Amino acid sequence: MADLDVVLEHVDKTFPGNTRAVIDFSAEIEHGEFVSMLGPSGCGKTTLLRMVGGLEEATSGRIFISGQEVTDLPPSHRDTSMMFQSFALFPHRTVFQNVEFSLKMRGLEKDMRTRRVWSMLETVNMDALADRRPSDLSGGQQQRVALARALISEPTVLLLDEPLGSLDYNLRQTMMVELKKIQQETGITFIMVTHSQQEAMSMADKVIVMSDAMVQQIGTSREIHENPRNQFVADFIGNNNMFQGVIRSRSGSMVFVEAGSQLYYIRVPEHIRQVNVGQEAHFSVRADLMHTGDNPEMANKVRGSYVATEFLGTLETDVFEVGPGHFVHVEQHRHLSDTTYKVGEMETLCFAADSGMLLERTRRPEDLTG
Ligand SMILES: Nc1ncnc2c1ncn2[C@@H]1O[C@H](COP(=O)(O)OP(=O)(O)O)[C@@H](O)[C@H]1O
Ligand SMILES: [Mg+2]
């Protein structure tokens, strides 16, 4: 475990009243990684983070930090630091004094303290405002001070709970870049909890997707975007079209799935071992791999009636209804799409066999054996 900063082994947390907040959570976090835990509100992210920091006791399972088991150790005996969603700074102390505080408590001598605080203030770009009080700072500046305060003790792991949650859109975009830069400069392992797909996917080296108290997938942003493992991940991340049907035949790594009145030729990813003819199947197709028009090179086609177009920057997403209440999104760059559809107009949509991804069922507590 030499280079693993945090290891979680089958960690469970059940609150009184039988709320299962975290179930069978296992993950390995390497030294210097920026990890983000992504999932909808209430899925157990904060509870998990608090267990790593020792603020919450695990009901079962084991937690290691830098190779040492810390499951039963109090926060003061763990080499972690936590930055909370509401980052209460000391109102009557200056920026400098706020950051200096924990070093003073540890009895570090003044010269050493001063040097470390200045260096940290430079890292978070707050050295020019060292004499200000928190009330004279903007939200983003207060955030930086809170970050400096959490990092000054040089923890092995910094735990961040929705650190950008309270910032408005523009500031959040700026802070995302800065937080990532600071993490790279300090080389400290960051575990950041967020319900924002954009934050998780753009900042983290590794994303842990959670729902219903369980890990659904662990991977790089790219892996999760390109190869969602199960229904929850495909539905929650990115712009995926979901299909439901029945497996009609299998040949090697490909299957025929009947969905609606259509037969689709779909790839079976390596991690799915068992595929039975006659079994219910779900698959997804990324909106950017879905095309309009009849392309003879693509194995899969479906007819749909035009519903609407959504615009986002230079991307546009045309929405078609391919079956009652079943909408398919086709995402393309605006300059490429010169067609304008009328509502109700029929169009052929197609995608390559490789673009369809057979999915596992969402992980649920009842899937666990033993
Ligand atoms: N101290 C507590 N006592 C009882 N239930 C709790 C407590 N803290 C959290 N929970 C419950 O545990 C579940 C997970 O909560 P939380 O970890 O805060 O989720 P998230 O951070 O993903 O929104 C929720 O159902 C929540 O109501
Ligand atoms: Mg939370």
Distances (CA, A) of 95 to 76, 103, 106, 273: 24, 14, 19, 56
CA dihedral for 54, 58, 60, 61, sign (positive or negative) = negative
CA of 42 from ligand 1 middle (Å) equals 6
pLDDT digits (tens, 9 = 90+) for 316-360: 899 999 999 999 999 988 765 567 899 999 999 999 999 999 999
How is residue 344 written in tokens?
Answer: 């109700």
Establish whether residue 162 lines the binding site of ligand 1, counting it when its CB lies within 6 angstroms of any ligand atom. no
The residue nearest atom 26 of ligand 1, judged by CA position, is 42
Establish whether residue 165 lines the binding site of ligand 1, counting it when its CB lies within 6 angstroms of any ligand atom. no
Establish whether residue 209 lines the binding site of ligand 1, counting it when its CB lies within 6 angstroms of any ligand atom. no
CA of 43 from ligand 1 middle (Å) equals 8
CA of 175 from ligand 2 middle (Å) equals 19
CA of 47 from ligand 1 middle (Å) equals 6
What is residue 170's predicted lDDT score, i.e. its pLDDT? 85
What is residue 1's predicted lDDT score, i.e. its pLDDT? 47
pLDDT digits (tens, 9 = 90+) for 118-155: 999 998 899 999 999 999 998 888 988 999 999 998 99
Distances (CA, A) of 20 to 86, 193, 199, 210, 364: 25, 18, 26, 14, 12
- Percentage of the chain beyond pLDDT 90 is 78
What confidence category does residue 368 fall into, taking pLDDT thresholds of 50, 70 and 90? confident
User: Which conformational region is residue 278 in: left (phi greater than 0), alpha (psi within -120 to 50 degrees), or beta?
Assistant: left
Establish whether residue 43 lines the binding site of ligand 1, counting it when its CB lies within 6 angstroms of any ligand atom. yes
Establish whether residue 148 lines the binding site of ligand 1, counting it when its CB lies within 6 angstroms of any ligand atom. no
What is residue 52's predicted lDDT score, i.e. its pLDDT? 97
Distances (CA, A) of 236 to 6, 197, 240, 321, 362: 26, 8, 9, 20, 11
Establish whether residue 38 lines the binding site of ligand 1, counting it when its CB lies within 6 angstroms of any ligand atom. no
Interatomic CA distance for residues 223 and 207, integer angstroms: 9
Burial (CB count within 10 angstroms: exposed 0-12, middle 13-18, buried 19+), residue 58: buried
Interatomic CA distance for residues 82 and 19, integer angstroms: 24
CA of 140 from ligand 1 middle (Å) equals 27
The whole-chain average pLDDT of the chain stands at 92
CA of 9 from ligand 1 middle (Å) equals 20
The answer to whether residues 157 and 191 touch, using CB atoms and an 8 Å cutoff, is: yes
Indicate the angle between helix axes 110-123 and 169-186, nearest 10 degrees: 130
The residue nearest atom 7 of ligand 1, judged by CA position, is 15
- Percentage of the chain beyond pLDDT 70 is 97
CA of 57 from ligand 1 middle (Å) equals 13
| Nearest atom of ligand 1 to the alpha carbon of 193 | 21
What is residue 86's predicted lDDT score, i.e. its pLDDT? 63
* Pairing assessment for the beta strands 315-323 and 326-333 based on DSSP bridges: antiparallel
Establish whether residue 47 lines the binding site of ligand 1, counting it when its CB lies within 6 angstroms of any ligand atom. yes
Q: Residue 312: pLDDT above 90? A: no
Establish whether residue 15 lines the binding site of ligand 1, counting it when its CB lies within 6 angstroms of any ligand atom. yes
CA of 164 from ligand 2 middle (Å) equals 12
Distances (CA, A) of 199 to 59, 104, 168, 214: 30, 34, 13, 20
Side chain identity at residue 196, one-letter code:
S
Establish whether residue 51 lines the binding site of ligand 1, counting it when its CB lies within 6 angstroms of any ligand atom. no
Which one, of 223, 220, 184, lies nearest residue 205 by Cα?
Answer: 220
pLDDT digits (tens, 9 = 90+) for 4-14: 999 999 999 99
Q: Which mutation among 12, 15, 192 tests ligand 1's pocket best, with the greatest number of atoms within 8 A of CB? A: 15
Establish whether residue 44 lines the binding site of ligand 1, counting it when its CB lies within 6 angstroms of any ligand atom. yes
Residue-range domains of the chain with CATH: 4-226 (3.40.50.300), 239-360 (2.40.50.100)
Interatomic CA distance for residues 206 and 192, integer angstroms: 10
3-state DSSP assignment of residue 272:
coil
